[in-house]
Amino acid sequence: MTTKTDTLLDAKRPLLKTPLPGPQARRIVELDQRHVSPSYTRSYPLVARRGRGAMIEDVDGNLFLDFSAGIAVVATGHCHPEVVAAIQQQAGELLHMSGTDFYYEHLVTLAEKLEAITPGNFPKRVFYANSGTEAVEAAVKLARYATGRPYLIAFHGCFHGRTLGSLSLTASKPVQRERFAPLLPGVFHAPYSYPYRCPVGAPPEDCARACLRYLEETILRTSVPPSEVAAVIVEPVQGEGGYVFPPAEFLVGLERICRGHGMLLIADEVQSGMGRTGKWWAFEHAGITPDILCVAKGIASGMPLGITIAAAELMNWKPGAHASTFGGNPVSIAAAQVTIRLLENGLMENARRLGDYILKRLADWPQRHRLVGEVRGRGLMVALELVRDKKTKERASTERDRVVEAAFERGLLVLGCGPNTLRLMPPLVIDPEQADCALDILEDALTQVEKEVG
């Protein structure tokens, strides 16, 4: 059914009708501040009412172009009609039964599909949960269970979730850990290859090798015996930590080190997976095969679903060892099945094509904009790192926050990541017109902030 307002939601560009926030948005933000946990991190007062494709309509009828995709979740866009239809149909048949205690076919159908689209020519098994952090919890428990080893290695800058196990791995921002100790013991953090700011001080071209050397020659030689390490967990692209893309050599080296010591390699693809980088999984660009894979966010286009995939011989734990009441909910799985079909029938290719287009347009921004230190990305996972000085690379954190706000004031929804990086993670359905519109707005916002800071 097409109504006047639906036509608006099919629009390609923002349309602001009220000053922001509008009266309804102001009312809801005030109530939210009274009733909802203040631990959430809202960058600006967007109060969403409806969504379609890459557009969001707020409660005052303002239209925004969404380059956040609900934090990399609505892979197929907001309320894709085929996803909505599948959800509605499934909701009328079976809402819940609990895969922990009963069988239903959805669990099998999606597991077979995931097995087919995940590298590694061996039988696999799938564990179902509801969120990214639970997918990571399951991976960590499985790694310990399967190896009988206690220790874990994660990376500086990583984000793996906020439940206490995942939080023990997360090393992205101190506020995420402050006052929550004691965390899981036995977690060691290693330097993550970040060529623009190599954490071990190596030049960009040597950063991957230098970080691997630090892991092998310092951490595994002085701090933890490799024979007692269950797993190394890595984001193939660091998400919350700042959209950091390590060279392929870094991931290949990690795989080699893990194999050499019988440590499992866990890839956390919660943010970088589901076609966002132009392949199903970001680790595929490096040609590696992790032992355990964590998936969530984009997999069900907005329905909650977290998944842990491993070789069948590895995921061989006893009944009762791990489970979840809601995990693998049939409605979420129905959404995931349509999401996967849409991704393989064009959206993943669109992510690759539009990502190339956006990166091409952004390529000269570091020359043209004094706040832009580096542009990096792959597919529709794109970042601009803002700095006050191109030589010292002093982080332009407040300026980044201002650009995010200034973009919102112009009807573009973007978010930051890391201390001073701005990320573009639109739904995979965007078209060139929307990409151009977003970049025009962003450039305008950036130019304004550059003028503000003099």
Ligand X SMILES: Cc1ncc(COP(=O)(O)O)c(C=O)c1O
- Which residues are at the interface with ligand X (CB under 6 A)? 131-133, 136, 159-161, 235, 239-240, 268, 270-271, 296
CB of 386 to ligand X, least distance (A): 21
Q: DSSP state, 364?
A: T
Cα dihedral 75/331/32/49 (nearest 10) = 60
Please state the φ and ψ torsions of residue 50, each to the nearest 5 degrees: -140, 155
d(CA 110, CA 116): 10
CB of 408 to ligand X, least distance (A): 20
Task: Please say which residue, 296 or 375, places its beta carbon nearer to ligand X.
Answer: 296
Q: DSSP state, 204?
A: G
CB of 68 to ligand X, least distance (A): 12
Helix (H, G, I), strand (E, B) or coil at 153: strand
Helices (H), 329-431: 330-342, 348-362, 365-368, 397-409
Task: Please say which residue, 159 or 408, places its beta carbon nearer to ligand X.
Answer: 159
**Alpha-carbon distance values, 32 to 42, 64, 413 (Å):** 11, 21, 20
Query: Which is it for the CA torsion 218, 222, 228, 234, positive or negative?
Result: negative
Q: How many CB atoms lie within 10 A of CB 20?
A: 19
Task: Please say which residue, 22 or 165, places its beta carbon nearer to ligand X.
Answer: 165
Task: Please say which residue, 107 or 139, places its beta carbon nearer to ligand X.
Answer: 139
CB of 16 to ligand X, least distance (A): 29
Task: Please say which residue, 176 or 447, places its beta carbon nearer to ligand X.
Answer: 176
CB of 22 to ligand X, least distance (A): 29
CB of 274 to ligand X, least distance (A): 12
In this structure, which amino acid lies at residue 320?
G
CB of 163 to ligand X, least distance (A): 7
Task: Please say which residue, 187 or 437, places its beta carbon nearer to ligand X.
Answer: 187
d(CA 193, CA 1): 50
- Taking alpha carbons only, the member of 415, 366, 394, 65 closest to residue 240 is 415
Q: DSSP state, 419?
A: T
Task: Please say which residue, 322 or 410, places its beta carbon nearer to ligand X.
Answer: 322
Task: Please say which residue, 14 or 306, places its beta carbon nearer to ligand X.
Answer: 306
Q: DSSP state, 121?
A: S
Of all residues in the shown chain, the one whose CB is closest to ligand X is: 132
- Per the CB < 8 A criterion, the answer to whether 387 and 396 are in contact is yes
CB of 41 to ligand X, least distance (A): 11
